[in-house]
Amino acid sequence: MEAKMKKLCITFLLLVVVLLHVSSVKAEAEAVGGRALSRDDFPPGFIFGAGTSAYQVEGAAAEDGRKPSIWDPFTHAGKSFDGSNGDIAADQYHKYKAGSFTFEDVKLMHEIGLDAYRFSIAWPRLIPDGRGAVNPKGLEYYNNLIDELLSYGIQPHVTIYHFDLPLILYEEYGGILSPRFIEDFTAYADMCFREFGDRVKHWVTVNEPNIEPIGGYDSGILPPERCSEPFGSHCTVGNSTTEPYIVAHHLLLAHASAVSLYREKYQAKQGGSIGITLLGWWYEPYSQSSDDKAAAKRMVDFHIGWLMDPLVYGDYPAVMRENVGSRLPSFSKEESKRLRGSFDFIGFNHYIVFYVQADLSTLNLKERDYYADAAVKLSLLNGNSVKKQDILRMKKTPEMASTPWALRKMLEHLKVNYRNPPVVIHENGAGSLVDPKTIANEKPDYFRVEFLQDYLESVLLSIRNGSNTQGYFIWSLLDVFEFQFGCAVRFGLVGVNLNNENTTRYPRYSSHWYSNFLRGSGLRRADASIITPHKLGFGRRELSSKAKFT
For residue 354, give the H/E element and its range: strand 353-358
Encoded amino acid at 141, one letter: Y
Q: Would you call 454 helix, strand, or coil by DSSP?
A: helix
* 89 close to 55: Cβ distance less than 8 angstroms: yes
Q: State the SS3 of 365-384.
A: CCCCCHHHHHCEEEECCCCC
Using CA atoms, how far apart are residues 90 and 506, in angstroms rounded to an integer?
Answer: 12
Sheet hosting strand 282-285, strand order edge to edge: 282-285, 353-358, 376-379
* 288 close to 245: Cβ distance less than 8 angstroms: no
The number of C-alpha atoms within 13 Å of 316 and in the hemisphere containing its C-beta is 25
Using CA atoms, how far apart are residues 496 and 503, in angstroms rounded to an integer?
Answer: 6
Instruction: Enumerate helices (H) and strands (E) in the chain, giving the number of each.
Output: 19, 15
Encoded amino acid at 39, one letter: R
For residue 29, give the H/E element and its range: helix 2-29
214: left (phi over 0), alpha (psi -120 to 50) or beta: alpha
For residue 423, give the H/E element and its range: strand 423-427
Which residues are catalytically annotated? Answer: 208, 427
Total count of residues recorded for the chain: 550
Backbone angles phi, psi at 156, to 5 degrees: -85, 125
Burial of 318: CB neighbours in 10 Å, binned 0-12, 13-18, 19+: exposed
